[in-house]
């Protein structure tokens, strides 16, 4: 046996004992089309199911707007794999909603959908969430559902905290661009406290950090449970990607 072969076999044995050769990656579906009666047009989404999905039940769910970007730029499915494998979080199903027109991907509808639009909320409440519940082994508890978004998508998550807290307890906002719906600050600061749990993040002075800090103060004034994370990056994925593991642990931490 040559020395090269011995080294290779030794590496194989070490990896087997450390678990690195075990299949731990989850599965990401192809695009699934859904025709929305509430919105009057079609959307598409992809579903991440964790490794070992066949043997688990009542999984929590993470709904991700701008899902195509969270996959391509944020690689959130890889972060989920890593955090589940390390035992930091429970197995989670993630639904990556693509906000573009599936028949013309150059048409992105986010600038309309994300501004506290009742029809978009109803699409989730009456169409998307029931579809996922009927086709995947997910928990029916609102406390096991989180909605996540970035920039205008972060604003949308904030809208859901006010408009759809009967469906979602977890509200995850990364650098929320609040200016299209400034009344949302007052809704959180002065209206009755909603039964939600919030993750809020911001970057440096080139991010929209002042708006995030204003929202943080409004949430804290009413006693909302909030995890606030800040880093030194601008309004881009260098800011948002490093926050994803913190966000996942905050909502889905595995019990000891």
Which residues fall within 8 angstroms of residue 127, CB to CB, at 6 or more apart?
A: 34, 36, 37, 38
| Separation CA 90–CA 58 (nearest Å) | 11
**Over 80: is that where the pLDDT of 229 sits?**
yes
**Over 70: is that where the pLDDT of 84 sits?**
yes
Q: Do 218 and 245 meet the contact criterion of CB atoms below 8 Å apart?
A: no
Can you list the domains of the chain with their CATH numbers? 23-252 (3.40.50.1820)
Burial readout 94-115 (b: 16 or more C-beta within 10 A, e: otherwise): bbbbbbbebeeeeeebbeebbb
Q: State pLDDT tens for residues 115-137.
A: 999 999 999 999 999 999 999 99
**Over 50: is that where the pLDDT of 37 sits?**
yes
The DSSP call for residue 138 is B
Burial environment of residue 166 by CB neighbours within 10 A (0 to 12, 13 to 18, 19 or more): exposed
What is the value of pTM for the model shown?
0.90
Identify the pLDDT of residue 1.
Answer: 53
| Angle, CA 73 vertex, CA 67 and CA 74 arms, to 5° | 70
| Separation CA 109–CA 101 (nearest Å) | 7
Q: Do 83 and 138 meet the contact criterion of CB atoms below 8 Å apart?
A: no
Q: State pLDDT tens for residues 242-256.
A: 999 999 999 999 987
Question: Within 13 Å of residue 77, how many CA atoms lie on the same side as its CB?
Answer: 20
| Separation CA 165–CA 152 (nearest Å) | 19
Q: State pLDDT tens for residues 42-81.
A: 999 999 999 999 999 999 999 999 999 999 999 999 999 9
**Over 60: is that where the pLDDT of 146 sits?**
yes
* Range in 3-12, 38-47, 148-157 with the lowest mean pLDDT: 3-12
């Amino acid at each position: 046996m040559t020395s090269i072969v011995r080294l290779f076999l030794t590496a194989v044995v070490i990896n087997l004992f450390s678990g690195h050769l075990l299949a731990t990656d989850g599965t990401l579906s192809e695009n699934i089309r859904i025709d929305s009666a509430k919105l009057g047009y079609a959307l598409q989404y992809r579903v991440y199911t964790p490794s070992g999905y066949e043997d688990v039940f009542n999984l929590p769910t993470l709904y991700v707007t701008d899902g195509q970007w969270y996959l391509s730029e944020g690689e959130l499915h890889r972060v989920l794999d890593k955090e589940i494998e390390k035992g930091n979080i429970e197995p989670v199903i993630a639904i990556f909603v693509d906000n573009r027109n599936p028949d013309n991907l150059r048409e992105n509808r986010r600038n309309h959908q994300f501004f506290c639009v009742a029809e978009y909320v109803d699409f989730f409440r009456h169409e998307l969430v029931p579809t996922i519940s009927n086709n995947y082994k997910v928990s029916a508890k609102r406390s096991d559902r989180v909605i996540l978004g970035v920039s205008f998508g972060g604003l949308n998550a904030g809208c859901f905290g006010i408009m759809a807290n009967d469906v979602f307890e977890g509200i995850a906002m990364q650098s929320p661009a609040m200016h299209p719906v400034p009344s949302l600050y007052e809704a959180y600061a002065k209206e009755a406290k909603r039964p939600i749990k919030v993750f809020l993040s911001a970057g440096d002075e080139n991010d929209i950090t002042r708006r995030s800090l204003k929202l943080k103060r409004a949430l804290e004034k009413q006693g909302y449970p909030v995890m606030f994370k800040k880093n030194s990056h601008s309004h881009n994925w260098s800011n948002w990607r490093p926050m994803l593991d913190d966000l996942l642990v905050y909502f889905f931490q595995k019990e000891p």
